Amino acid sequence: MHMRPLDGIKVVTLEHAIAAPFCTRQLADLGARVIKIERPGVGDFARGYDERVHGLSSHFVWTNRSKESLALDLKQPAATEILDALVADADVLVQNLAPGAAERLGLGYDALSAKYPKLIVCDISGYGADGPYRDKKAYDLLIQSESGFLSITGSPGAPAKAGCSIADIAAGMYAYSNILSALLLRGRTGRGCRIDVSMLESMVEWMGYPLYYAIDGQAPPASAGAAHATIYPYGPFPAGDGKTVMLGLQNEREWKLFCERVLEQPELAIDERFASNSKRTSAREALRAVIVAAFAKLSAAQVIERLDQAGIANAQMNTLADVWAHPQLKARERWQEVGTAAGAVPALLPPGLPTDFEPRMDPVPALGQHTEAILRELGYDSTRIDALRASGTI
């Protein structure tokens, strides 16, 4: 097997929930050794979110493969020595503890950088390390709300959250990419750095064009359910068999093809009401009625066939059961089994198909599964380990 990009990189992480675990799981995918510190007897509280994966939490299984679990009560005096030993030869420390908790444990960047100048410290929080919101607790849905995301999602009068933990995922992605950049920079300068990732800033960046659409106090894009707010037709339409087809037009050439070859109403292409995307968006109710009437004569399969023949982008509105069985993912062999305490489960291989290495797809750890092995690696013998266990430190 070829070397992975992060082979030899050691990551110590004090993490819970989604943002930091998603970041560090991706580092593990690339070969990093990730040591996850968890509270004895309880662990990452995401372990208790549900029991959907053969008795295990769906959240935890998704974000924690290929890691080592070290059960350690950080409030016990003996934990300090263990933490110091772990951090001393670590490349990266990641934490998303409550605001101020890392500093109280002596794990703030200022305290660590003097002792370990090559260490990269990544702090993930709701609002960042300073500013008036610094000490506010934050969770995914709260950041979706604070960032304005809820205000443009859903239907008029009925805001809706994203169906997945989008704010956590955004923060985790920026933490991951910043750590990769910091490792590259350290290779040039020989020094580590601090990375301060804010969930709010991550989500505001992902607000993208809607934020600019509303610049200078202009009206924001209207909430449009599953349809696009400012491009039309671009969204779901019912077919005659009761199934739904998603389609999207991006330019005037596609609009003309759609009228001629899908709707079979070429006169619509020169109808002044629909002569530009802005006009089609303004007249969306009238245009939707035309499209729905045309599709009512066809099955979803027939609509998709016409769209494909015309070169118009389209998709099925799949359920999650459909995604598990998706023929494209199967054809590209994107599912691989990983181990868990409850047996093997399927996991999606990391997006991207590198030709020179295989991503790491090791088991999801049980709570404290690697505690003794890690302590022995640090020089602890059986007597000291038993004492740590007796004191509740591990």
- Mind telling me the catalytic residues? 168
Question: In the sheet that 194-198 helps form, which strands lie side by side, from edge to edge?
Answer: 67-71, 33-38, 10-14, 92-95, 120-125, 194-198
